[in-house]
Amino acid sequence: MSVLDDIVAGVREDLAAREATVPAADLRALLAEAPAPRDPMPHFRRSGSSVIAEVKRRSPSKGELADIPDPASLAQEYAAGGAAAISVLTEQRRFGGSLDDLRAVRAAVDVPLLRKDFIVTGYQLLEARAAGADLALLIVAALDDDELRRLHAEARSLGLTVLVEVHDEAETERAVALGAELIGVNARNLKTLEVDPDAFTRLAPLVPDDRVLVAESGISGPTDVKRYVAEGARVVLVGEALVKDGAPREAVAAMTGVEA
């Protein structure tokens, strides 16, 4: 069983417990009252890099990254530094996150929020919207083509912007064929946890110019950002480097608006 399969199995168990407590119909009723989601695409399409800054406590590859007792105040620092969006990891077992983190961040900032999780059912999309997310991640490696298409359509119908994540050629072709507007190349292979620093370089040319490309994982500062922008990224998604930096506001600012 790959790491990814193992994570998804845990996610499905936790999900079943939540679904038994809060029925989908209750979430739908909540959403009927909710304000429309924020659209991050105009910021992403601006010239110069946009940053999606991530609230991330730990990961299966690196273990403990940072003690984040107050995700809301970290998010306020990210927003003050000019983050185009904030990613909140909500997976509990391996990443130490929760929907409570997402709700706390939503209450504290006005920028678009990404629910970063292993989304395998429509219920998780309802949860994302109900907790105040504006974007949702769909990981191509975790979904067959039917699931990917169905979840993508469901997310769009809820008004969510979808970040479709890929790591190899075949996944990139699936994302493009799906019509994904926002495609993230994760340098890390979630099945093995290995990082391939050349993944972006290889995959970016397979993506048509009308889509927005996001470079994900292993970005440590403005030098990395400049390289990815030169290779076609408009957006960078950064976790570890920001949660470990004592001055996250300045760190986000330094990675924002970088030109090739």
The least CB distance from residue 80 to ligand IGP, in Å, is: 20
What the block records as the tokens of 197 is 């620093």
Tell me the per-residue interface mask from 30 to 69 with ligand IGP, x by CB under 6 A, - otherwise: ------------------------x-x-------------
Q: Which two tokens stand for residue 233?
A: 């990224």
> 152 by DSSP, 3-state: which?
helix
Residue 126: both structure tokens together: 């309802």
Per CB under 6 A, the list member of 49, 186, 189, 256 interacting with ligand IGP is 186
Active site residues: 54, 56, 116, 165, 186, 216-217
Inter-residue contact 206 to 173 (CB < 8 Å) = yes
Near ligand IGP by CB under 6 A: residue from 15, 104, 237, 252: 237
- Please pick, from the candidates 27, 217, 234, 249, the single residue that binds ligand IGP as defined by CB under 6 A: 217
E strands, 100-242, in order: 113-116, 135-139, 161-166, 182-186, 212-216, 235-238
Residues 6 or more apart whose CB falls under 8 angstroms from that of 235 comprise: 44, 49, 50, 51, 52, 84, 182, 212, 213, 214, 215
Q: Which residue lies nearer to ligand IGP by CB, 158 or 215?
A: 215
Q: Does 224 bind ligand IGP (CB under 6 A)?
A: no
Tell me the per-residue interface mask from 118 to 157 with ligand IGP, x by CB under 6 A, - otherwise: ---------------------x------------------
Which C-beta is closer to ligand IGP: that of 38 or that of 191? 191
101 part of the interface to ligand IGP, by CB under 6 A = no
Spatial contact of 58 and 95, defined as CB atoms under 8 Å apart: yes
- In the complex, the smallest distance separating the C-beta of residue 226 from ligand IGP, rounded to whole angstroms, is 16
CA distances from 84 to 51, 134, 156, 235 (A): 5, 12, 20, 9
Q: What is the rounded CA–CA span in Å between residue 208 and residue 134?
A: 24
Task: Give the residue, chosen from 165, 171, 224, 245, that forms a contact with ligand IGP under the rule CB under 6 A.
Answer: 165
- State the residues that interact with ligand IGP by CB under 6 A: 54, 56, 116, 139, 165, 186, 216-219, 237-241
